[in-house]
Structure 1
Amino acid sequence: MSLNMAGPHMLQTDPSSACLQAAIAVELRHIAALLNQLAEVLVGDEHFALHHIDQLQSFDLLVQYADENASVLDRLAQGADPHAAVARVRLTAIQDRLGAALAKAA
């Protein structure tokens, strides 16, 4: 990959890879939306919600994971340097795992 003059942390990406990364980001956001819909249905069942509150909180975490990973893919599709794309992740657990993956590639 060659450097792009758009910014210090931008890389020139293969158009096919960029399109695929952007499409996967959309798919992850679709998954997050479906999880939100399912959680809303389950919360609407008072008996279920009262007995499974901890499990329902997992839905929110899954949505956050999907959104963060989608954002990384969006940044990569726009030509961001992988390290810069991962550095902007807000959830420490995801940032740590993705950073470890980048470290393996080094």
Structure 2
Amino acid sequence: MSRPRDLYDDYTPSQQMTDAIKAWEDIVEQEKEVRRAAREAIAAELRDARVERDGVEHRVSQEAVARYVPWSEATVLGIAREYKVPGVRQAKKKAADAG
């Protein structure tokens, strides 16, 4: 049988420690809000960004956006799914375009 642990019920954390923990918790909460805003901006970019090639407007792919954000293409795909952004499909080649 083990001895009971002394949990020092009379211990009170210092103000410095409790202030530091509170500051850290506040920053973590702020980081969550900023990350959510960034994810919403990425979803909007996937939904709205266009490039023009040969006179035709194309939506930007998840891979193209992923090159400019601190997350992987898989994460950008997850963001697109979370915000219900439809995927970009490859343009079908016409018979005349085939090699």
Task: Confirm or deny a common fold (TM above 0.5).
Answer: no
- Larger relative helix fraction: 1
* TM-score, length-scaled by structure 2: 0.41
Which has the higher relative contact order, 1 or 2, with Cα contacts under 8 A spaced 6 or more apart? 1
- Larger relative strand fraction: 2
* TM-score, length-scaled by structure 1: 0.38
